[in-house]
Structure 1
Amino acid sequence: MKTLKILVGVAFIIAISAFAIDKVSNPPVTGGYAVGDVATDFELKNIDDAMVSLANYKDAKGFIVIFTCNHCPYSVAYEDRIIALDKMFKDKGYPVVAINPNNPKAYPDDSFDNMKVRAKEKGFTFPYLFDDGQKIYPQYGATKTPHVYILEKTAKGNIVRYIGAIDNNYKDASAADKKYVEDAVNALLSGNKVPVELTKAIGCSIKA
């Protein structure tokens, strides 16, 4: 019995040691951009079948990049607010660029054809791009729909200035007393530091 206890103890120590070594040699994988990083450009198909990249926006001061989709109830709840953000800031140099990151095989409602239907139904005033092959959302580190990345165009590139939620109440726009995206863009337009740079995105997980 004593020998068994010793063997179990030794096995436990070996397991702990192996775990510790693995944690050192294989640190947790972290992906995506942090605030202050330079975001690379992309070229994705829009619902009008044209290819769109951030480089197309010669006069933009920055971008409100929003990963969103058709089926997610959180995304649906924010659609009118996304349209309002585009109306509010597009002419000031910060247009909305929406990207659907979901795999349509996992959620047929999020197919490219259904994106066209949804955009027409809602009267989207902004590009609604399809992340074909799901190559872009992992670069950004998006995990939810909706998930927002505000980029500021600079001489060094498009710098990430805000990551997270649109506001603090997905159920009711009128009840939201923290308008993170609106406040961030207004700060950038005024030449000020973004007041809240990082929040937790609330929504549906992106479907791979």
Structure 2
Amino acid sequence: MKTHIKNIKTIFLLGIVLTGLLAFTPANEEHKLSADRGYTIGDVVADFKLKSTTGNMVSMADNRSVKGYIIVFTCNHCPFSKAYESRIMALDKKFASQGYPVLAINPNDPSAYEEDSFENMQTVARAKGYTFAYLQDETQATSKAFGVSRTPSAYVVKKEGDKYTLQYIGGIDDNTQDANAVTKRYVDDAVNNLLAGRPVVNNFTKSVGCAVKWKGV
């Protein structure tokens, strides 16, 4: 009996240690652990064709003059996404003319939140004056391919020939609540490095936001 109790205690303590190790996994290691759920750095990203709020179908290949894209998975209802609206617009204003326009994609099942319906996407795009394409991932296949789990999440892809390779995954910057208190601009830094012909050093950060609402879940 004493041996049985001792074994139970040992298993319990090992569980606590393992949980602690996972809780403090560095960002790059966390990305390795989740790599099987979507694209990882250096992967070739498959093109997609999604419906824009303008009514047009949009794909990455439509714009042949780009150097790459800033792809942001965002939505209407999430307070984190709302907090980043102006910052996403600023990214497009800054980098579209330099060859890295924004493509915004709503990954959510609209039946979970009416605010995320296509009609409401159109309303928001018009009201905010989006200068970038705001796309609906109706089947959620593109979002699953990227491995998106939260909104907003940013992905920077570089065009190489007729392919698009993933260069950055993660948050837009380091302060969700206050744009004026941002000290690290992850997407800015990634695109600036690529424009300068340098590799992206900090190529993975953790996204903070609302969980994606998947169909049938």
Instruction: Report what 2:132 is aligned to.
Output: 126
Structure number, greater radius of gyration? 1
Out of 105, 109, 121, which is 2:111 matched to?
105
Instruction: Report what 1:168 is aligned to.
Output: 174
Instruction: Report what 1:32 is aligned to.
Output: 38
**Aligned-residue offset at 1:29:** 8.9
Alignment of 1:15-164 (within 5 A): 30-155=36-161, 157-164=163-170
Number of residue pairs the alignment of both structures matches:
187
Question: 2 CA distance for matches of 1:156 and 1:91?
Answer: 20
Question: 2 CA distance for matches of 1:147 and 1:59?
Answer: 25
The unaligned stretches of length 5 or more in structure 1 are: 10-27
**Aligned-residue offset at 1:193:** 1.1
**Aligned-residue offset at 1:120:** 1.1
**Aligned-residue offset at 1:174:** 1.4
Instruction: Report what 1:194 is aligned to.
Output: 200
- SS where residue 66 of structure 1 aligns? strand
Normalised to the residue count of structure 2, the TM-score between the two structures is 0.82
Instruction: Report what 1:16 is aligned to.
Output: none
- SS where residue 94 of structure 1 aligns? coil
Question: 2 CA distance for matches of 1:203 and 1:97?
Answer: 18
Give a deviation string over 1:37-58, Cα, whole Å, max 9, x none.
0000000000011000000010
Question: 2 CA distance for matches of 1:57 and 1:89?
Answer: 14
Tell whether the 8 Å contact from 1:60 to 1:153 is kept in structure 2 after alignment.
yes
Tell whether the 8 Å contact from 1:38 to 1:156 is kept in structure 2 after alignment.
no
Letter in 1 for 2:151: T
Structure 1 residue runs of 4+, over 3 Å off?
none
Instruction: Report what 1:183 is aligned to.
Output: 189
Question: Between the two proteins, what is the percent identity of the paired residues?
Answer: 49
Question: 2 CA distance for matches of 1:125 and 1:139?
Answer: 25
Tell whether the 8 Å contact from 1:63 to 1:94 is kept in structure 2 after alignment.
yes
Give a deviation string over 1:7-56, Cα, whole Å, max 9, x none.
xx9xxxxxxxxxxxxxxxxxx99221000100000000000110000000
Letter in 1 for 2:133: P
CA root-mean-square deviation: 2.0
Letter in 2 for 1:104: P
Question: 2 CA distance for matches of 1:176 and 1:170?
Answer: 8
- SS where residue 83 of structure 1 aligns? helix
The unaligned stretches of length 5 or more in structure 2 are: 9-33
Give a deviation string over 1:56-103, Cα, whole Å, max 9, x none.
010000000000000000000000000000000000000000000000
Tell whether the 8 Å contact from 1:183 to 1:195 is kept in structure 2 after alignment.
no
Normalised to the residue count of structure 1, the TM-score between the two structures is 0.86
